[in-house]
Structure 1
Amino acid sequence: MTENGNLKRRVRARAAKTGESYTTALMHIRRAPTQERKPDVRRLRMAVAQTIYMDDPRDIDRLRQGGQEIRRQMRQARESGARLVHFPEGTICAPNKRIMSEVGPREIGASDWRRFEWGVLREELDATRSLARELGLWAVIGSAHQLTAPHRPHSSLYVVSDRGELVTRYDERLLSNTKISFMYTPGSIPVTFEVDGIRFGCSLGMECHFPEIFSEYERLDAHCVLFSTTGGVPANDAAFAAEAQGHASTNRYWVSFSLSTHPGLADPAVSGIVAPGGRWAAQCQADGMPAIALADIDDNPGDLSRPWRRKARSGLYEPHRVEGDPRSDARDMF
């Protein structure tokens, strides 16, 4: 009786998880070998960072300080065993729309990108790439990406390998009204890359508001999506954090949530890493200071929910639908 009861519990558990009928779940369990071989799990320790928000690209000293800060966090991440560290949007500098406005600061107009100390930014990014090679650490860094005039820059994520090479770049696609009207050129394609068998997708700015960005990465077999933003508006930050949890739960993958910290801001959101079920696996301290949080992520190989949801979206239900107007059927009952 005990063995039969255990079998029934296993069948009910599988049926509840996959949506299969009791009979189908029983068939699969009876076909499985007595000692089922668990799939190999690929794992990676990653760090997510929060950095002090800096918005004046004319301030050379602050640009230098920003570069030094992210390199300090890279060393801290590597000392903690991380293979990859993920930074916010505009890690070294996220230019302020009023500072950049050619008719500002009172009015917001087209950005004058000649005000950006591009040479200093390049030097800091080069030093960061060199450190990535020295540490054997992957780094994903938010930055404006200069294009040839008269084109506006992209708002981008640079993906730097553990050899210090720029392996790819993601350009924000769904820009805010201010960004598309006055500041940036939108990107056009999703970007994925792999580290130790874990596939990452990239997202940026306000794209957390757009579930299609995240469902696209599910279709591209991402195990983790890296979302970077500047933060700074408590209502938006709270919404982004909740949405990051929702995307992780809906798509059954990890989401890394990295944002800038604004000292003095009441009830700030914090950077963190969300597990596939939607819970926070790690979060930084809410003290407004630069920090990193660490989590061991994996490719979630034993999760049956993700393949079942794909199956459910593939027309599974069409043969079972009954033609007719359900409203008329309801009226016929009375």
Structure 2
Amino acid sequence: MTQNGNLKRRVRARAAKTGESYTAALQHIRRRGDDSAIRSIRLAVAQSSLFNDPRDTAALHACGAEMRSLMEEAHKAGARLIHFPEGATCSPNKRVMSESGPREIAPSDWARFEWAVLREELDATSKLAKELKLWTVFGSVHQLTPPHRPHNSLYVLSDRGALVTRYDERMLSNTKISFMYSPGKVPVTFDVDGVRFGCALGMEAHFPEIFTEYERHEADCVLFSTTGETPSAAPAFEAEVLGHAASNAFWVSYAAHAPQSIAAPAGVAAPAGHWAARCAADGAPAVAVADITIDRENPARPWRRKARADLYGPLQVNGDPRSDSRNLF
């Protein structure tokens, strides 16, 4: 009876917010498998080795083998989903790719990429995801038809090994947009066992609007993948990830390459703004596992939405306090 009452309250709240009918709001909630107030999923976040030369076929094969080894480790830990860094299959170095390089950074020559080898590794990874029944999210370059530059992407493989969606980085760095990639256009969400995930990539932790947008899309957890080529950028990302989790009252998974872990290891940030799980800070490949628990009855997110929707405007007193002599000492 309590569970049914909670469901009815959530349906009424959604109908009031969206203007939908009660029936439409109920159908939306049930499509998400959201009949219980509390849902949980075990998430594994990975910090993998950095491979940055897509001309090196042996390295591409080694990269794929390491990813699959970490998938096996996550599966043994009971994970339902594993989240990898940006460029987990290969993160092409701007100087390696430069048509005038390596001394000069110029437009990338994507003919240097061993695309056939990458496809072999993607196929092997898809087969293992199906075998382990493990949702797998990882960074990869997504080839487009020349002369279009590729996307810097996150692939989402289901527990059946199928590619269900792809997120393309939108807020590209100056080097990426000038010389390397085509930008993406839209946010991407997907649901696993009634838990909704959003995707972010590269330097997008620097843009809070990316994360507040996912809050509006009702994400329960944002998967943020970055490269972590050097440890120097790690402290800012680490602080921002915790801040986004706390200010939006959702989970954030932070996946970066192993070299960056000596400053900020990969981890899972809880809605309260603390780390629920972290990999070792030793520069080595690893996974960390956390149980993502979603409480639909938590009042924090509804209140913050209400506050952001000009709750305070009608209650504000007219006038500039600086011009009111009664407020002066």
TM-score range, shorter chain: 0.7 to 0.9
Computed over aligned residues only, the root mean square deviation of the Cα atoms, in angstroms, reads: 1.5
What is aligned with 1:241? 238
Q: Which amino acid in the other structure matches residue 79 of structure 2?
A: A
Asked if residue 100 in structure 1 is aligned to residue 92 in structure 2, the reply is no
Q: How far apart are residue 333 of structure 1 and its match?
A: 3.5
Give identity over the alignment, percent: 63
CA distance, structure 2, for counterparts of residue 40 and residue 242 of structure 1: 30
User: Conserved in 1, the CA contact under 8 Å of 2:321 and 2:327?
Assistant: no
Size of the aligned set, in residue pairs, is 295
**Residue deviations 1:42-99, cap 9 Å, x none?**
1100100000001000000010000000001111111111000000000021000000
Asked if residue 195 in structure 1 is aligned to residue 155 in structure 2, the reply is no
Asked if residue 324 in structure 1 is aligned to residue 319 in structure 2, the reply is yes
From 286, 292, 296, the equivalent of 1:297 is 292
> Aligned with 2:263: secondary structure?
coil
Q: How far apart are residue 266 of structure 1 and its match?
A: 8.8
Change in CA separation of 1:215 and 1:330 when aligned onto 2, cut-off 3 Å: farther
Q: How far apart are residue 267 of structure 1 and its match?
A: 3.5
> Aligned with 1:42: secondary structure?
strand
**Residue deviations 1:220-240, cap 9 Å, x none?**
000000000001332311110
Q: How far apart are residue 321 of structure 1 and its match?
A: 1.2
Asked if residue 127 in structure 1 is aligned to residue 133 in structure 2, the reply is no
What is aligned with 2:12? none
Q: Which amino acid in the other structure matches residue 62 of structure 2?
A: Q
What is aligned with 1:87? 84
Q: How far apart are residue 332 of structure 1 and its match?
A: 6.4
CA distance, structure 2, for counterparts of residue 330 and residue 49 of structure 1: 59
User: Conserved in 1, the CA contact under 8 Å of 2:262 and 2:283?
Assistant: no
Change in CA separation of 1:211 and 1:136 when aligned onto 2, cut-off 3 Å: same
CA distance, structure 2, for counterparts of residue 199 and residue 217 of structure 1: 10
TM-score, normalising length: structure 1 = 0.86
Q: How far apart are residue 300 of structure 1 and its match?
A: 2.7
Structure 2, gaps ≥5 residues long:
1-35
Q: Which amino acid in the other structure matches residue 323 of structure 1?
A: N
From 210, 213, 219, the equivalent of 2:210 is 213
What is aligned with 1:182? 179
Mapping for residues 1-334 of structure 1, pairs under 5 Å:
40-262=37-259, 267-330=262-325, 333=328
Q: Which amino acid in the other structure matches residue 70 of structure 2?
A: Q
Q: How far apart are residue 316 of structure 1 and its match?
A: 1.1
> Aligned with 1:241: secondary structure?
helix
Moved more, 181-190 or 298-307: 298-307
Structure 1, gaps ≥5 residues long:
1-38
User: Conserved in 1, the CA contact under 8 Å of 2:54 and 2:114?
Assistant: yes
**Residue deviations 1:257-316, cap 9 Å, x none?**
000112xx7933210000001100000001111100000002232321111110111121
Change in CA separation of 1:329 and 1:48 when aligned onto 2, cut-off 3 Å: same
User: Conserved in 2, the CA contact under 8 Å of 1:223 and 1:298?
Assistant: no
> Aligned with 1:104: secondary structure?
coil
Change in CA separation of 1:71 and 1:330 when aligned onto 2, cut-off 3 Å: farther
CA distance, structure 2, for counterparts of residue 114 and residue 214 of structure 1: 35
> Aligned with 2:241: secondary structure?
helix
CA distance, structure 2, for counterparts of residue 142 and residue 234 of structure 1: 19
